[in-house]
Amino acid sequence: MSLSSKIAVVGSGYVGLVAAVCFAEMGHDVICVDNDEKKVAALCGGEVPIHEDNLPELLQRYCNTRIRFMTNLAEATQASDAIFIAVGTPQSETGDADLSYVEAVASEIARSLDSYKVIVEKSTVPVYTNEWIRRVIERNGVPQHLFDVASNPEFLREGTAVEDFLHPDRIVVGANSERAARILQDIYSPLTSGAYYERRDRIPGRNSVAEPPALLLTSTKSAEIIKHASNAFLAMKISFINAVSNLCEAVDANVEQVAKGIGMDERIGPKFLRPGIGYGGSCFPKDVAAFRSVAEQMGLDFSLLAEVEKINNLQKKRFLSKVRSALWTLRGKRLAVLGLAFKGDTDDIRESPAIDMVRMLLAEGCSICAYDPAAMERARQVLPESLQMQYVSDAYTAADNADALLMLTDWPEFSRLDLDKINQALRYPIVVDGRNLYDPAAMASHGITYMSIGRPTVSPSRELASDGVDRL
């Protein structure tokens, strides 16, 4: 049986809050610290600030029992064996990660260290951050034997963060001392031993008693690089398929068939080969830039990553051209927009390609009628409601009398629309899909002209083969 550990998590954003709640679910005693008093008060009252599956249930189960929220970092530090730093590392103007929050937290922890603790980086940070945290703590007069700094990067995706945490592909622990490694191995032992997956009330997912996740033990620097390299690789995969989709468009091939064909090679794999209007979110854009900047600082030319960014930015401009080619001119056109979040199943609009698209369309003189199942409240803060920018509460109202409908986020409900109703609502039955949510043949059979990414455009008047490919 695994023993319960005493854990502090600093920061109650996506990563911090999910980690804190999941550590409680794994049986540990957790204190989650944030310097935002309002947020702490709301969390103490059981309010969940983010849209995340399973989070409200788990928070309700453990709030004020196995998990407490507070603003007092000194108290949390002294009560814990391990302190996870999960504060923000925003992108600075130069593309580097801004580590000032991490530094401030490290100094504050140092001032209250009175017995051995392991301080764990959970935030996404560039290589060498670990080194800097150690130096900051030493500069505050803490002797070496009283602490270790370890790295334990997180690979959770927004929307499925709780499941990703409790059913990870792998757990990476970067530690330069046996003592720190052991503490982290103990913390994760409910998962690595399979014990968690025996529980009847476990959160369901891919791991099981027979197949628990592996814990990879590395040096701290390797762990830091694993995180950045993983995100950069995934972003590269997306830019690769987007570049291929452009070639498919140029020669009338179908990128979905191509992605399937290359993804069937086990060495490549089928995931993250969905073409679209580019990747967004709080991680990929920031992490690709930060990883490139780290390489530059080391005197290395990692221009592959610059190309990944370039393709990603171009993808939005190409989509704009597609809309223009569907409508001829854009000024004064009324467009229905489905989706504002950076991906489906989240209310997050940070670096959302959908928001960028809307901005570009507004700048072209279009008026927008938008619907998103969860992100409209946040969108209103960056795209205020006006005559040109309206928000409505369902897809059909958005489509009402619009010159075309644009699909910008892959929400599951957008792939189950009543296409006859959409056709009737639109002024002209034109759909431009930035996420390839529909089979072109289905759209055409409902009388809709359909443009998507990397696939031939279909119009109702044209003869289509059964696979939806327009071969005229």
- Sole binder of ligand UGA in the list 54, 89, 152, 231 (CB under 6 A): 231
Minimum CB separation of residue 155 from ligand UGA in Å reads: 4
From 132-140, 205-213, 281-289, 437-445, give the range in contact with ligand UGA by CB under 6 A: 281-289
Please identify which residue in 155, 302, 396, 428 interacts with ligand UGA, judged by CB under 6 A: 155
281 binds ligand UGA (CB under 6 A): yes
Q: Is 207 in the site for ligand UGA (CB under 6 A)?
A: no
Position 234 contacts ligand UGA (CB under 6 A): yes
| Shortest separation between residue 395's beta carbon and ligand UGA, angstroms | 19
Q: Does 280 bind ligand UGA (CB under 6 A)?
A: yes
Interface with ligand UGA includes 43 (CB under 6 A)? no
CB of 160 to ligand UGA, least distance (A): 8
Can you tell me which of 69, 147, 196, 284 binds ligand UGA, judged by CB under 6 A?
284
What is the total count of residues that contact ligand UGA (CB under 6 A)?
20
Whole-number Å distance between alpha carbons of 115 and 6 = 13
The single residue among 83, 238, 389, 399 that binds ligand UGA, judged by CB under 6 A, is: 238
Write each residue from 120 to 149 as x if it is in contact with ligand UGA (CB under 6 A), else as -, in one continuous string. ----x-------------------------
**Which CB sits closer to ligand UGA, 156 or 448?**
156
Under the binding rule (CB under 6 A), the answer on residue 419 touching ligand UGA is: no
Exactly one of 22, 63, 248, 283 is catalytic; name it: 283
CB of 292 to ligand UGA, least distance (A): 16
Q: Which of 25, 29, 158, 433 binds ligand UGA (CB under 6 A)?
A: 158
Would you say 383 and 313 are in contact if contact means Cβ atoms under 8 Å apart?
A: no
Is 464 a binder of ligand UGA (CB under 6 A)?
no
Which of 32, 156, 330, 370 is in the footprint of ligand UGA by CB under 6 A? Answer: 156
Task: Give yes or no for residue 268 binding ligand UGA (CB under 6 A).
Answer: no
Please give the C-alpha separations between residue 274 and each of 160, 237, 262, 269, 350, in angstroms, as whole numbers: 18, 9, 12, 12, 20
Per rule CB under 6 A, is residue 171 in the interface with ligand UGA?
Answer: no
Q: Does 272 bind ligand UGA (CB under 6 A)?
A: yes
Indicate whether 154 belongs to the interface with ligand UGA (CB under 6 A).
yes
Q: Is 357 in the site for ligand UGA (CB under 6 A)?
A: no
Q: Which is nearer to ligand UGA, 284 or 438 (CB)?
A: 284
Cα gap 206→222, rounded to integer Å: 26
Does residue number 279 form part of the binding site for ligand UGA (CB under 6 A)?
Answer: yes
Catalytic residue flag (residue 283): yes
Task: Report the C-alpha gap between 343 and 324 in whole angstroms.
Answer: 23
Question: Is residue 50 involved in binding ligand UGA (CB under 6 A)?
Answer: no
Binders of ligand UGA in range 290-349 (CB under 6 A):
342-343
Q: Is 168 in the site for ligand UGA (CB under 6 A)?
A: no
- Helix (H), strand (E), coil (C) string for the chain: CCCCCEEEEECCCHHHHHHHHHHHHCCCEEEEECCCHHHHHHHHCCCCCCCCCCHHHHHHHHECCCEEEECCHHHHHHCCCEEEECCCCCECCCCCECCHHHHHHHHHHHHHCCCCEEEEECCCCCCCHHHHHHHHHHHCCCCHHHEEEEECCCCCCCCCHHHHHHCCCEEEEECCCHHHHHHHHHHHHHHHCCHHHHCCCCCCCCCCCCCCCEEEEECHHHHHHHHHHHHHHHHHHHHHHHHHHHHHHHHCCCHHHHHHHHHCCCCCCCCCCCCCCCCCCCCHHHHHHHHHHHHHHCCCCCHHHHHHHHHHHHHHHHHHHHHHHHHCCCCCCEEEEECCCCCCCCCCCCCCHHHHHHHHHHHCCCEEEEECCCCHHHHHHHCCCCCCEEECCCHHHHHCCCCEEEECCCCHHHHHCCHHHHHHHCCCCEEEECCCCCCHHHHHHCCCEEECCCCCCECCCCCCCCCCCCCC
Report the catalytic residues: 283
Residues making contact with ligand UGA (CB under 6 A): 124, 154-158, 231, 234, 238, 272-274, 276, 279-281, 283-284, 342-343
